[in-house]
Amino acid sequence: MALKTAEQYYDSLRQMTPTAYILGEKVADITSHPLTKGQIAAVAQTFALAHDHEGRELLVTHSDLVGEEVSRFVALYGSIDDLLTKVRMLKFLSQRTGTCYMRCTGLDALNAVGVVTYDIDAKHGTNYRERFLEYLKYVQRNDLVVWSGVTDVKGDRSLRPSAQPDPDMYLRIVDRNDDGIIVRGAKAHQSGSLCANEGLILPSREMRENDKDYAVAFSTPADAEGIIHVYGRGTLEAREMEGVDLGNVDFGKFCPMVIFDNVFVPWERVFMCGEHEFAGAMVRLFGSYHRHSHGGCKCGVGDVLIGAAAAVAEYNGVPDASHINAKLVDMIKTVQTMYGCCLAASIEAKESDSGIYLVDSVLANTSKLYEGKEYHEVIRLLVDIAGGLVADMPSEKDLRNPDIGPLVKKYLKGAEGVPVEDRMRMFRLIEKLAFETRDIVSNIHGGGSPEAHRMTLLRDTDLEPKKKLARKLAGIKENK
C-alpha cells in the first residue's frame, strides 16, 4: 500500500483514537467536525491527486528504500530535480485547495532528520540514522501523513530552556529507561496535527550543555497515550459551523496546540537524545527546507488571490480599469518573485554527506522574508480591488429568505450577465483568503519568525568575497 487513495486516508484517521479537544469539548470523530473536516479534506487531495494523471507527475516518485513508487511527501531529496519538483508540487496543490494541506511540514522534517542523524552518527558512533531509515520505510510503505512538531511554547523568551521557572516550557526528556524515553512539554501552532497519522518531533532552537534534555528528536503516533491535541481558534469559524457562506467550503486550516503529558517513546523511534550541539543544525535545516516549501504553497495560493482579484473586478464591471490592471501587476510581481527565489534555491542546492540535498538557505530565506512583508500587500490589493462587500455582505441565508431574498438579489447585482450568487461566492472566497488569521499569520511566522529568517540570511551569507569585490573595484590593495 505505497500509495493510498483519499478514502483509505480517511479510513486511517477513523481507525485512530487521538485525544482531541475543540472549544472545550472532547471530540471523538475529527473527520466530520465542522472545524476540522476542511483541512482533512485538503490533505485528502494529496492522495486523490496522486491518482490523477496530471497530479501523478508531481506527487509520485520512486523510493530506493522500499523499491516501489511512493508519495513525494514521504521521500528524501535525492537531487536538485527533487527540490524543484517539490516546489512545483506544492504550488499545484495550493492552486486546487486555496489553503494548507500540511504534509510539507512532515516532508521537510523527514529530510532534516535524515541529514542530521547521519552527522550525529559520524561524530558519536550512534545508530540514529539506521533507526530513522527503518522508520522512513514504515512511513513510505503505509503512505502515512506526518506532521512536524517544532515550535515550543517557550515561556519567558528571555530565558534558555533549562533556565525556565517551569522546565516544561520546552519539550524535554523527563526519564530514560531500557525501553525508551518519556517526554513532557507542548508544541504550539501545530498545523493539522489531527490530520496526521504520525508526528516527527524536533527541537525548536539551538541548545547548550545545560539544555541537553531538550535536545531530543523522535517520532510518535498522533494518538499515542499522553498526547493531547487542543484546537487553536481562528477567525471565520461561524462560517464553518453554519456550513454556509463560504466560497471555498470544502477546504480549511486549523492549528492545535499539542500537549505531551509524559509520553513514552521507544528507543527505535528516538533520533536525537541529548546531542545538544546538533539541535540548532536540525531546526535550522528544517527551517530552510520549510521556507523553501512556502515558495511553492504560498505562490499557489497567490495565484488564487490574483485570480479572485481579476474575477471580482470583472463581476464588479471594471475589468479594464487602468488602476485595476496596475494593482494586478503588483500582485503578480510579488508572487512570481517568491516563486523564482525558491526555484533558484533548488537549482543552487548542494549534496550533503548523507546524500540528501541541502537547499540554498539564503535564497529560501529571501523568499520567506519577501513573503512576510510583501505578501500582505498582495492581500491588501485584493481587498482594494474587491471593495467593501468583502467585510459585510449579507448572508446567503438572506438571499434564500422568501421575504427579503428578491430585494437582496436586486441590490447585490453587479455587472450585467453575472449571476448574483456567483458574485456573492467570490466575495466570500476573498473574505476567507484575506481575513482568515491562521493563514495571514502563517505568511509572517510560518517556518519560524521573521527574525529567524534574517539571522539565517546573515549567518549563511559569506560577506568576505563581497567585500573583496568592492575593495578591488575601489582600487584598495589586499593586505598580505
354-378 pLDDT, tens digit each: 999 999 999 998 888 888 888 889 9
d(CA 383, CA 423): 14
- Tell me: do 304 and 203 sit in the same domain: no
- Tell me: do 299 and 250 sit in the same domain: no
Q: Is residue 307 part of a domain?
A: yes
- Tell me: do 134 and 272 sit in the same domain: yes
- Tell me: do 269 and 304 sit in the same domain: no
**Count helices and strands in the chain by DSSP H and E runs:** 17, 14
Q: Is residue 109 part of a domain?
A: yes
Quick one: pLDDT at residue 221?
A: 98
Low-confidence spans in the chain with pLDDT less than 50: none
Quick one: pLDDT at residue 443?
A: 59
The pTM of the full predicted model, rounded to 2 decimals, is 0.92
- Tell me: do 264 and 324 sit in the same domain: no
d(CA 448, CA 365): 10
Q: What is the DSSP string of 158-202?
A: TS-GGG-SSGGGS-EEEEE-SSEEEEEEEE-S-TTGGG-SEEEE-
Identify the CA nearest to 118 among candidates 351, 354, 350, 286: 354
Q: Is residue 147 part of a domain?
A: yes
Q: What is the DSSP string of 121-139?
A: HHHH---HHHHHHHHHHHH
Identify the CA nearest to 274 among candidates 199, 209, 365: 209
CB 388 within 8 A of CB 381: no
Quick one: pLDDT at residue 472?
A: 85
- Tell me: do 27 and 170 sit in the same domain: yes
Quick one: pLDDT at residue 233?
A: 85
Q: Of 218, 253, 279, which residue constitutes the final position of a domain?
A: 279
Domain that holds residue 453: 282-471
Q: Of 234, 252, 279, which residue constitutes the final position of a domain?
A: 279
Tell me the torsion sign for CA atoms 194, 196, 200, 203: negative
Cell of 475: 582600487
- Tell me: do 69 and 107 sit in the same domain: yes
Q: Residue 183 is which amino acid? A: V
- Tell me: do 231 and 252 sit in the same domain: yes
Segments of 39-179 assigned E as strands: 60-63, 68-71, 146-149, 172-176
Q: Alpha carbon of 441 to those of 223, 236, 372, 448: distances in Å?
A: 27, 15, 9, 11
Q: Is residue 479 part of a domain?
A: no
Q: Residue 430 is which amino acid? A: I
Cβ-based neighbours of 456, under 8 Å, separated by 6 or more: 284, 287, 288, 361, 362, 365
Q: Is residue 476 part of a domain?
A: no
* CATH for 61: 2.40.110.10
Cell of 338: 517568491
Q: Alpha carbon of 24 to those of 19, 225, 233: distances in Å?
A: 12, 20, 11
* Residue in this structure with the C-alpha cell 493531547, named with its chain if needed: 228
- Tell me: do 224 and 318 sit in the same domain: no
- Tell me: do 258 and 291 sit in the same domain: no
* Residue in this structure with the C-alpha cell 525548536, named with its chain if needed: 204
Q: Is residue 478 part of a domain?
A: no
Looking at the structure of the chain, the number of domains it has is 2
* CATH for 439: 1.20.140.10
- Tell me: do 346 and 416 sit in the same domain: yes
Q: Of 279, 310, 341, which residue constitutes the final position of a domain?
A: 279
- Tell me: do 227 and 111 sit in the same domain: yes
Instruction: Specify which residues 69 forms β-bridges with.
Output: 62
Quick one: pLDDT at residue 462?
A: 84
Through-space distance between the first and last CA atoms of the chain, rounded to whole angstroms? 63
Q: Is residue 81 part of a domain?
A: yes
